[in-house]
Amino acid sequence: MNSVVAEEETDVAGTEKVLTFFREQLLAGVLKEGDRLLGERELSLKLGVSRPVLREALRSLANQGFLDIRHGKGAFVRKADMAVLGDFLTFCLAQQPDMMDDIMQARIAIECQAIRLACLRATDGDLSRIGGLLTRLMETLDSAEGGGAADFAFHMALVEASRSPALVTIYNSIATLLKRSHVQRRVETRDTGGIRDYLVEAHREIYLCLLSRDPDEAEHKLRQHFAIGDELRRKSYIAAFTKKDLPKEE
């Protein structure tokens, strides 16, 4: 029994050694997309792990979308699929209490830094695209699904205009949750007075700050947008649960 446990612990340690090696090679730039890993025999000797353990670790990396194992040719580095990371984070975060509140705080942090960078780095193409998305947002004000999707696309484009691969990657990883949030918020506030005018004006002001390339004012307008949105949502909750016409006692 002890020998079985020891063998399992050795396998786990060997697998971790392979994963650590792969991660460090990527971080150091030694391995890049399309590169072929060392052959199985050579790699197992280099890492000091058995070939069965190596094969299992490589299969794990392939299942996660990091490797492409081609029969008879070897294992090749793949470009990471962000959908995999997004699914992983969704499953993890969905188990946490107050998950969406935490996601929103992460969103605010990412977007506020992203818009500052966008003011400095956005190309004319970025600005034109964001303007088009603003137009689409204004055209879908009456649709929770369409409007929510347009709202998300506008904010996603702001992050992409930051030209920061790290911020875009992190934002993409929570995209599924954010899309759901945008639609849900449209549903929750659709009967709130002045919501249509607010949505248009808030996004228009953010876009104008971006066009002016004013990072301080752009961040200020974005934070104001988040704060007012929270306040409108709070009012919609109060209105939904306020009893206006209580039955009179006889």
Say what the pLDDT of residue 234 is.
67
Residue with the bigger pLDDT between 172 and 206: it is 206
CA distance 172 to 105: 15
| Longest alpha-carbon distance in the chain | 90
Residue with the bigger pLDDT between 146 and 229: it is 146
161, 133 Cβ separation under 8 angstroms: no
The answer on pLDDT for 4 being more than 70 is: no
Say what the pLDDT of residue 1 is.
47
Say what the pLDDT of residue 112 is.
97
Q: Which parts of 140-244 fold into alpha helices (H)?
A: 144-160, 165-173, 175-189, 195-212, 215-241
Say what the pLDDT of residue 233 is.
65
181-to-144, 149, 228 alpha-carbon distances in Å: 11, 10, 16
Average pLDDT of 199-227? 96
136, 153 Cβ separation under 8 angstroms: yes
Pick from 244, 137, 236: which is nearest to 192 by CA?
236
Say what the pLDDT of residue 65 is.
82
pLDDT tens for each residue of 98-123: 777 888 899 999 999 999 999 999 99
CA distance 212 to 218: 9
**Token pair belonging to 115:** 């818009």
Say what the pLDDT of residue 235 is.
63
Mean pLDDT for all residues in the chain:
85
CA 230 to chain centre: 21
The answer on pLDDT for 191 being more than 80 is: no
CA distance 149 to 29: 37
pLDDT tens for each residue of 131-175: 999 999 999 999 999 999 999 999 999 999 999 988 998 898 888
Residue with the bigger pLDDT between 88 and 134: it is 134
Say what the pLDDT of residue 211 is.
97
With a CB cutoff of 8 Å and minimum separation 6, the contacts of 43 are 37, 54
Pick from 59, 91, 66, 63: which is nearest to 81 by CA?
66
The model's confidence at residue 240, banded by pLDDT at 50, 70 and 90, is low
pLDDT tens for each residue of 22-73: 989 988 889 898 999 999 999 999 999 999 999 999 998 888 788 999 988 8
Q: How many CB atoms lie within 10 A of CB 157?
A: 19
The answer on pLDDT for 216 being more than 90 is: yes
Q: Give the chain's radius of gyration (CA, Å).
A: 25
Percent of the chain with pLDDT over 70: 81
Residue with tokens 């039955």: 247
The model's confidence at residue 248, banded by pLDDT at 50, 70 and 90, is low
151, 111 Cβ separation under 8 angstroms: no
CA distance 149 to 190: 15
